[in-house]
Amino acid sequence: MSISQVSQQPFSSDGWKSRARVRLESSAFDYVESGAGSEDTLNANRQAFQKWHLVPRMLQDVKQRNLATSILNTPLPASFLLAPIGMQGILHPNGELATAQAATSMGIPWITSTVSSHSLESIAQVLGTASRWFQIYWTQDEEVTFSMAQRAKASGYSALVITVDTPMLGYRTRDLNNEYSPFRSGKGVANFFGDPVFRSRLNRSPEEDFQGALKHLLDIFYQPALTWEHIHRLRNHVSLPILMKGILHPEDARLALAHNLDGIIVSNHGGRQLDGCIATLDALPEVIKVTQGKIPVLLDSGIRNGTDILKARALGADAVLLGRPAAYALAAGGEEGVGLLLKRLIQDIDTSLALCGVDDINQLNPSLLYRNC
């Protein structure tokens, strides 16, 4: 990408979104952009950020600034990770490999999705020595879940992220109207079709009978019977830190502490699961009251710019996950697009922190916020 081309690229998430809309088929764009039901939760995630306003301090020495933090021995240069976005092959031919390369180039930690278009091992090769976690969807075949966790550890992933808000797929009206389901079309199956335990369950290999293997996967993928006991059993198989993604209720945060979870990710799946549920930023303060710094708490869903990250951190989040903006940038510009998005987001965080009169992002606190009810 030339200097002139770079200068023409968007400076905002909305700009990347507009570019992605042009590049993608409408059904694929809707899949990324949309939420469940009437999309009340999708909209609430953004509205929650708009209710909070930064109250900057003046005459503070902000010549030198620190944006970094560390979670579970994972350094975060700018207080965010890339969220686990599945099936990125529908966005760009190189899919996760392009996004992972961009993340590595910018030093941003990465979370690989269970339903990635490329295997967790091939993504790890692109990441090299860069920090990465692995996100798990718990299937009805527990041994498959354990096998993927063991493969992740062997490939250098340093933590597991268990997504718990998907006992079944949310009621996503745009996808239903479009009759669009990339997973049911065989996208995002690489980690399953390459897994030795999953393959052992098949009469014929995926190479011999793709549709048969896909049917078996669809039959076992959702696990509505998932409980806390399952998480205990995972600990007996893989010695990696475990974070739970999808926590919104403070009582679930208490249970996470009681069950010795290593971290919580406050998330409503970007508004894609239960429509009408609480926005993540609204849920965050009550979760923080429960955890009281005993374990890391991250925030997912609704992050679009640098000031969003500052607001989340001021309300107590140790870091955030960046989702849709990276997907838009991948669709619009591939690896270069994601890299430019990350570079400009870091610049936004840095500038906004200085303008708040704060020189260390870890010193943000609620006194710098005003809530407009």
Known binding site: residues?
Answer: 31, 84-86, 113, 135, 137, 163, 172, 245, 267, 269, 272, 300-304, 323-324
Q: Report percent pLDDT > 70 for the chain.
A: 98
pLDDT at position 8, please? 79
Mind listing the pLDDT tens digit for each residue in 345-369? Answer: 999 999 999 999 999 999 999 999 9
Dist. CA 252–CA 244, nearest whole Å: 10
Mind listing the pLDDT tens digit for each residue in 27-79? Answer: 999 999 999 999 999 999 999 999 999 999 999 999 999 999 999 999 999 99
Dist. CA 93–CA 96, nearest whole Å: 9
φ, ψ at 366 (rounded to 5°): -60, -20
pLDDT at position 5, please? 56
Average pLDDT score over residue span 150-175:
98
Structure confidence at residue 196 as a pLDDT band (50, 70, 90) = very high
**For residue 207, pLDDT beyond 70:** yes
Element spanning 180, H or E: none
Average pLDDT score over residue span 233-256:
97
Known binding site for glyoxylate: residues?
Answer: 31, 137, 172, 269, 272
Q: What is the CATH architecture of 13-371?
A: Alpha-Beta Barrel (3.20)
Mind listing the pLDDT tens digit for each residue in 109-133? Answer: 999 999 999 999 999 999 999 999 9
Half-sphere exposure of 235 (CA within 13 A, CB side): 12
Q: Within 10 A of 84 (CB to CB), how many other CB atoms are there?
A: 25
Known binding site for FMN: residues?
Answer: 84-86, 113, 135, 163, 245, 267, 300-304, 323-324
- Cβ(350)–Cβ(79) under 8 Å? no
Q: Which positions are catalytic?
A: 269
Is the whole-model pTM more than 0.95?
yes
